Structure 1
């Protein structure tokens, strides 16, 4: 008999659970390694003329290339024939331990990987084949027992089903990603999605057009999304790191009430005159439900033209001049031509409170008259 039925059932349960996990890559080879008791597990597949390797533990891309040079396609085809219908075999049955130890393949590739003893199981698929090699150290002398081979064989039907499920999930994910692309490309607002390192993983058509404009103030290259001004770039990178590190709930708690919280963490990017500055609202990608369709996306950047509406202008004033949300709201109304009494009425403020806010605005912006305030706002938000 193979493994205890409870252990085998637990391994099967974990395999099916992993295939549906976000970012899953199909069969979880570590589950197989732990279940059978192997040093590492190698999966080889050939479909439509292409051969692919995947392995867990002690096995990197360099070793994959080296092993691919040693094992020819004829070797794989022989193993496919030997292990028909998923029936596993020990490699020691057709190459003794002593003979294996003398091969260059063992000395150059398998020995450094603690390999040399293997139980292999291949099965055919409609457009090729797939194989698994469970490997142990030749020096340990612990070859695979009959009950372990029986357990490997018992797993094969489940592994075939899991690969079929994973292929179906990939198709659905691709359709979901395409739909997300289409949705973001229809947005008139520029939207960029960044990974945890700040590199761009997606930008919609509006963002592409914006970055292509002369005097944009932003660039996107291999380093990520960067501001051309050094001071602005430092603030941008800090905001991206914060959004990448914190969950949406924590980010919202870290922001103050009012326009800034509504817009996300704002970063102002100046552009060549007469273009208005840009306001970048930087939030975790999960807050846009973008992470499921863009697996590596951690940060969403939404770009606004400063001054196109009162909320954005308010965020600009809060960030640039240290105004409170209410002070900034009053300043925007005055900049749009309201007198103090009219602005106070719109904000439901008493005349005394409005005058106190105006005094604080003057002090923070370094002006002494309302006319100077209006001129400063117009200069800060020039018309395009």
Structure 2
């Protein structure tokens, strides 16, 4: 069993090309030895599910699930309160003996020779919940701890990819530029060519380069800030093929903890070959925000401060509306006021300003 690094690139490819989700689930099923796998988005109000990717299910079984058995699914009901991003096996949600007595098992799972499942929700709002998982037979028993560790490691990537896909869907509906979405992401994203020449950095990536403690620009080329990582970083930017995604741990200055950098070759549109560029996704720990300091300086209301914090965390207005019970129109009014008070004109500028916020002091008088 490998670490699953070979799947991570495919997960992010599927975020930008949703037709690839079926391939992701096929590879996950093969790697884990499961009978089936599924990634779906469920609308909690209409109780309708949208299949993002699947493997090992017949179409008529999915139709029956959406029409009838979904409402009886004890796994899904447990998922409504399941911690987002966590992965568990179904026996921890419902005992085997209790599952066997359900109509859901007898009439839906049993004909498909399914009994156990493992996975979890990767996103949840008041209206939606996105879930991924794999399923196996009763005869094969529980999934091994090794497989559970693999699926757990993949969960945050499913979460990020799902949120990227949602953002891109919004872009396509609203006609926004793709770069605008990347600037709104809290995670630093940088794109370089095979010579390490920087062609793009989102707002968080620009802040990372200004700090120069992990990566820095030298003559327009990106290099590791720590001398001991320079050679390894340069070598990682030249993958052997279009599908060779990987990762690299880089050290930081000032005795800070090392950071994981995901390296994903970018393919040419509608082609398999490598475009000669790679995207770097830097998994930094959340920086101190200090928005309370800015709130006082700009005389923000509590509602405006909460909106800024949610946007900084990568939430979209529709998600914030779902979670807070405030209409999107009200949030747009608050956002316009927030722009006026802070003197910026884009959500990306709010993110940049938040990244530069001073840490609040413990003594208001200092």
Larger gyration radius, structure 1 or structure 2:
1
Normalized per residue, which structure has more helix?
Answer: 1
Work out which structure has the larger RCO, using CA pairs closer than 8 Å and 6 or more positions apart in sequence: 2
**Bucket of the pairwise TM-score, normalised by the shorter protein:** 0.3 to 0.5
